Amino acid sequence: MSEAANDVAVQMRAGLRRLAKAVVVITSQHESQRYAMAATAVSEVSMDPPSLLICVNSNASIHTPLSAGAGFCINILHSSQEAISAVCSGQERGEMRFQQGAWAQSKSGLPYLEDAQASFMCRNDRAIVYGTHTIFIGVVEDAVTSGAVDPLVYVDGRYTVVGPAE
């Protein structure tokens, strides 16, 4: 990386610390193995068709099943679920990531967090490789919500909460 590009990357990283994002756990199942990873690189794409995108580092264990076309679920965490985010951010590996939280299986076979703020079950529709990451676009085939709106938020390298509307 050139010095100018490195300077831009440093400035970009500093700028992104100011972008508050809901914390999600992305899950998948492929060849009888479950995968989970915490993320904030998630966004809506379209309401017609209903679709979301996730950005996954090519080094992440979940990248392989997603690259093979496995479906995925985006679970928006509740403010009380910081421990689940920590476990899925690297404190644990593999199946151990599912020891924390109330996990269930969707009709399509995807693991999802029953008490997440929302869970979106997605059919893996498209993958776009860009730099160190792959952008996976999923068509939402089912969605469930739970409780009052009170998501776990990540900003400036730390967790925070918004709190439910009164």
What is the arithmetic mean of pLDDT over 111-122? 97
Instruction: Please check whether residue 25 lies inside any domain of the structure.
Output: yes
pLDDT at 2: 79
Query: Residue 8: phi, psi to the nearest 5?
Result: -65, -40
Q: Quote the tokens at residue 29.
A: 């199942």
Query: Range of 104's domain?
Result: 20-155
Share of the chain above pLDDT 70, in %: 99
Global pTM reads: 0.93
pLDDT at 5: 73
Instruction: Please check whether residue 1 lies inside any domain of the structure.
Output: no
Positive or negative, the Cα torsion across 5, 38, 118, 20?
negative
Of 51, 56, 30, 54, nearest to 109 (Cα)? 30
Instruction: Please check whether residue 8 lies inside any domain of the structure.
Output: no
* 134: CATH: 2.30.110.10
The number of domains in the chain is 1
Confidence of residue 125 (pLDDT cuts 50, 70, 90): very high
pLDDT at 6: 80
- Among 18-22, 33-37, 114-118, 141-145, where is mean pLDDT lowest? 18-22
What is the arithmetic mean of pLDDT over 39-61? 97
What is the arithmetic mean of pLDDT over 90-104? 92
What is the arithmetic mean of pLDDT over 108-135? 97
* CA atoms within 13 A of residue 157's CA, in its CB half-sphere: 3
d(CA 29, CA 161): 30
Confidence of residue 26 (pLDDT cuts 50, 70, 90): very high
pLDDT at 4 exceeding the cut of 80: no
What is the arithmetic mean of pLDDT over 65-88? 97
Instruction: Please check whether residue 161 lies inside any domain of the structure.
Output: no
Bridge partner list, 4? none
User: Please, are residues 75 and 104 in contact by the beta-carbon 8 Å criterion?
Assistant: no
Instruction: Please check whether residue 5 lies inside any domain of the structure.
Output: no
Instruction: Please check whether residue 73 lies inside any domain of the structure.
Output: yes
